Structure 1
Amino acid sequence: MKEPVRVERLDEATLSGLESVLRAACGMVLASSVRRSLGTALTRAAESQGMPTPDFLQRLLARDTAAVEAFIGYAVIGETYFFRHPEQLRELGRLASQHLGPFLVWSAGCASGEEPYSIAMTLVAAGMNPEHIRVVGTDVSGRALERARQATYSSWSVRRMEPTLERRFLTLTPESVSVPQEIRARVELRRHNLVTDPPPVSGAHAVFCRNVLIYFPPEIIPTVLQRLVLALAPGGWLFVAPAELPFTKGLGLEEREVDGMPVLRKPLLSDKAAEQRASARAVRSTPLRVVSRAPSPLRRVSPPARGTPVPPTPVPSAPAEGRVAASASPTVSASSSVQDIVEQALAAARAGKHERAEELARLAARELSPEAYLLLAMVYEGRGDVQGAVTAVRKALYLEPQLAIGHAMLVALYGQLGQPDEAERARRNALRALEGLDDEHVLRGVETMTAGGLRRVLVPGVKMGKSGAR
């Protein structure tokens, strides 16, 4: 059989053309790390249509409908897993347990289906009558929806699921896990474009749209959010990813804190005062500018031997004397960005000013900065509060689950706590987060480290040289 022609490396003009196709079709703008995968997506989409890649590319750039639909299925990456952001699902279960009668939830951008199935499981576990549960899962990718309908997954999709729920709601085999019919019957899957289509439901008691808004350009996000809110019944709840909360300012939604993170509620029709107060707060509280990357806080950590605690990871050492003096008295102005505040907090930590570092890191954490939580973890660890450091890192990972440096920090912290199984799990998660990244890719965090450097630290049996990881 002739090997298909692969076009893995695309020139800038072709990449821009492919991005234009995606934006016109579903409003999405891809992050730079995802943009590099368009060549692979193009080849796989061409193979799925039985066409040579150059011919498929020509049809795609001409906006052929079948070609565009096939390309979306491979280019729109829907990385998800069961019971993602479990705090939000626990809150949904608590709310549902107080409800009588039918209960409708929309899972927008549901990808391969783990989220809507998790929602249905949560509602059943909360004691709701299964006949009252209706979960509508939608996605722009027909390929993702087909996977969702098959409802069969690898063990990686249940990596964060509690064992009791896994045993209760999933059918397990050595090769796969599958969702039983009684749960699948509660979930309806539909094709839907969040940018161009009206809401597929109305009067929903909850809407989930998590880790989807970040793919849209800023001018489109308000329109998408308005449609999500329109789908809610008065008093209904909107669940977005923590990193997407700043986008919801100005919508007149009420905020409620759950496990340290806010969830959003559409005001009741009679509660005009609450709506006005929420709008006033949105006008007053302009969010700090969120930056895409700051350097990372990973110290050199070695993978744990089974049963062997990992040695403590120190707070960063103080820099040269002149630099400490220059940043010994950090000031924060109203125009300071999150990156500015994190850098000042890091300078304070290096100078041994842990209280000031914590104060600044907490200020940045209000804007849901993963880097701020990593820095708080460093401060806690420097005080000997290893469990507090673990909690802070887990909050960073709640905001950014693919934060490789956060997972790697847990390797060392769990080692100090004498929990080798958790340390090994964190090591594997860190390596998975590095998959597909070039060795020279600079990782997000608080101090600079490359993907290749972190891999060398984490791979069992590989010891660091004197220079350590770059």
Structure 2
Amino acid sequence: MKEPVRAERLNEATLGGLETVLRAACGMVLAPSVRRSLGTALTRAAEAQGLPKAEFLQRLLARDTSAVEAFIGYAVIGETYFFRHPEQLRELGRLAAASTGPFLVWSAGCASGEEPYSITMALLAAGVSTDRFRVLGTDVSGRAIARAQQATYSPWSVRRMEPELERRFLQIRPDSVNVSPEVRTRVELRRHNLVTDPPPVAGAQAVFCRNVLIYFPPEVIPGVMERLVAALAPGGWLFLSPAELPFAQGLGLEEREVEGQLILRRPLPGERPPARASRPGPLRLVTRAPSPLRRTQPTARVAPVSKAPASQEAALPPPPPPTAGSSLVATLEQARAAVRDGRFDAAEELARLAARELSPEAYLLLAMMAEGRGDVQGAVDSVRKALYLEPQLAVGHAMLVALYGQLGQPEESERARRNALRALEGLDDEQVLRGVEELTVGGLRRALVPGMKQGKSGAR
């Protein structure tokens, strides 16, 4: 039996050096869980190269090409599984089936291959003939591509698949799962660096880049997004994870809602994207920052929530008053709509009505209103009422991180951060949390990373 790898804990200087190597090589900023695993990655990469760890580390920090490549292979392969965000894959199948001509799909940052294989399965399940489509999967890690080419996975990777698709496209064994040749032959796998390399395709009908952008530093993301859009044919579709949609702001893409999720389309020449309210930027939670539910634009900070100018308030119709039979959900939705329209007085009135029904979400909305007026202590009080009703409300604890930071109470801010992380323990990254705005477990968990600072380019 193979001995488990025992990796000693690396000091901060060594960790910083390793992160610098990764950032220079592939533009990635590591999540805390990945950072903690760098010691194991270093040990495994040294073993693969047949070198003592100290010698391998020396070569790695000196940017030796073979050492860097080996290290990337063990350090940046993300966790994935088959049929992640299945509603997007179903929509892809519908789009391809309704189209004519060749259908090219690029899976960018495909890790160990579950995504491009899932894309192929979705197209086949939708009745798209094998001679009409091609799927390209790319990743910066040669080791990840090698694993994808083997197309052999653990049963855990297929935990989200529908039984019918599993029976049709997979060969199930007691301890492993193999992708069928029908699927494998339609997928091309290739190494590619999203940060430094030009797009590997042109004129794609669809591009998938999900749960990849969140690992890049803010100054890198716009260039990556431009290359993703450039790879699309006019009328082509871009699929991002829910947490990454704000990065597409300002690129002139259309939005379509599919089963509660948004997908993006590159307009045809001469088309104009439909007018819509600008989408807020990515959530970043920092000390001494606005509430984490008030998001920031990628290039400039949004003005704090405050009362709209009188002319704007007069130009917008008032919300329909809740009737005696109105549900709590309907009242909260009216309050959210009022916020989106800039009718903050109406939003606060509706939130107070919902709060009478002991709704934690209503108190979170009242906290946003209070903070917008500059009443930070009032915002804290409203969040604490929400937490009294729902002690495990992760978004509430997260809001307190920023609010206590504004009040100059770092110990309380840190305690709130730990409470928020505890409330997220055991939850799937894709689960949508209770709160005022849609926010996933994974998005909030990443936002709670300590030590992030806000600069002109956004959170760092």
Q: Aligned residues, how many? A: 339
1:332 maps to 369
Correspondences of 1:321-360 after superposition (within 5 Å) = 330=367, 332=369, 346-350=383-387
Deviation at 1:446, TM superposition (A): 13
1:186 maps to 186
Q: Deviations over 1:340-392 (max 9, x none)?
A: 9997775443566x9xx9xxx9xxxxxxxx848x99xxxxxxxxxxxxxxxxx
Does 2:295 align with 1:274? no
1:41 maps to 41
Structure 1 residues 445 and 406 mapped into 2: Cα distance closer, same or farther (>3 Å)?
A: farther
Residues 6 and 53 in structure 1, CA contact (< 8 A), matched pair in contact too: no
Residues 283 and 447 in structure 2, CA contact (< 8 A), matched pair in contact too: no
Q: Deviations over 1:35-81 (max 9, x none)?
A: 11111100000000111100100000110000000000001032100
Superposed structure 1 runs of 4+ greater than 3 Å apart:
3-7, 285-290, 292-295, 326-331, 333-337, 339-352, 402-408, 443-447
Structure 1 residues 16 and 168 mapped into 2: Cα distance closer, same or farther (>3 Å)?
A: same
1:83 maps to 83
Deviation at 1:260, TM superposition (A): 1.4
Q: Percent identity?
A: 64
Cα distance in 2 between the residues matched to 1:274 and 1:207: 19
Correspondences of 1:293-332 after superposition (within 5 Å) = 330=367, 332=369
Correspondences of 1:3-152 after superposition (within 5 Å) = 7-152=7-152
Cα distance in 1 between the residues matched to 2:44 and 2:233: 41
2:259 maps to 259
Residues 368 and 379 in structure 2, CA contact (< 8 A), matched pair in contact too: no
Compute the TM-score of the two structures, normalised by the length of structure 1.
Answer: 0.64
Cα distance in 2 between the residues matched to 1:5 and 1:128: 45
Residues 113 and 145 in structure 1, CA contact (< 8 A), matched pair in contact too: yes
Deviation at 1:115, TM superposition (A): 0.2
Compute the TM-score of the two structures, normalised by the length of structure 2.
Answer: 0.66
Residues 41 and 74 in structure 1, CA contact (< 8 A), matched pair in contact too: yes
Structure 1 residues 15 and 406 mapped into 2: Cα distance closer, same or farther (>3 Å)?
A: closer
Cα distance in 2 between the residues matched to 1:344 and 1:91: 43
Residues 332 and 341 in structure 1, CA contact (< 8 A), matched pair in contact too: no
Residues 41 and 75 in structure 2, CA contact (< 8 A), matched pair in contact too: yes
Q: Secondary structure at the match of 1:190?
A: strand
List alignment gaps of at least 5 residues for structure 2: 293-354, 356-362, 400-420, 432-440, 449-460
Q: Secondary structure at the match of 1:228?
A: helix
Residues 253 and 265 in structure 1, CA contact (< 8 A), matched pair in contact too: yes
List alignment gaps of at least 5 residues for structure 1: 296-317, 319-325, 362-369, 376-399, 411-432, 435-442, 448-470
Deviation at 1:262, TM superposition (A): 1.1
Structure 1 residues 342 and 100 mapped into 2: Cα distance closer, same or farther (>3 Å)?
A: farther
Cα distance in 1 between the residues matched to 2:4 and 2:167: 42
Q: Secondary structure at the match of 2:267?
A: coil
Q: Deviations over 1:284-341 (max 9, x none)?
A: x44474328999xxxxxxxxxxxxxxxxxxxxxx9xxxxxxx999645168599x999
Cα distance in 2 between the residues matched to 1:73 and 1:328: 44
* Backbone CA RMSD of aligned residues: 4.0
Deviation at 1:11, TM superposition (A): 1.1
Cα distance in 2 between the residues matched to 1:288 and 1:185: 37
Q: Deviations over 1:12-38 (max 9, x none)?
A: 111111111001100011022211111
Does 2:327 align with 1:290? no
Query: Residue 76 of structure 1 aligns to which amino acid in structure 2?
Result: V
Structure 1 residues 181 and 406 mapped into 2: Cα distance closer, same or farther (>3 Å)?
A: same
Structure 1 residues 329 and 38 mapped into 2: Cα distance closer, same or farther (>3 Å)?
A: closer
1:310 maps to none
Cα distance in 2 between the residues matched to 1:445 and 1:183: 34
Deviation at 1:100, TM superposition (A): 1.8
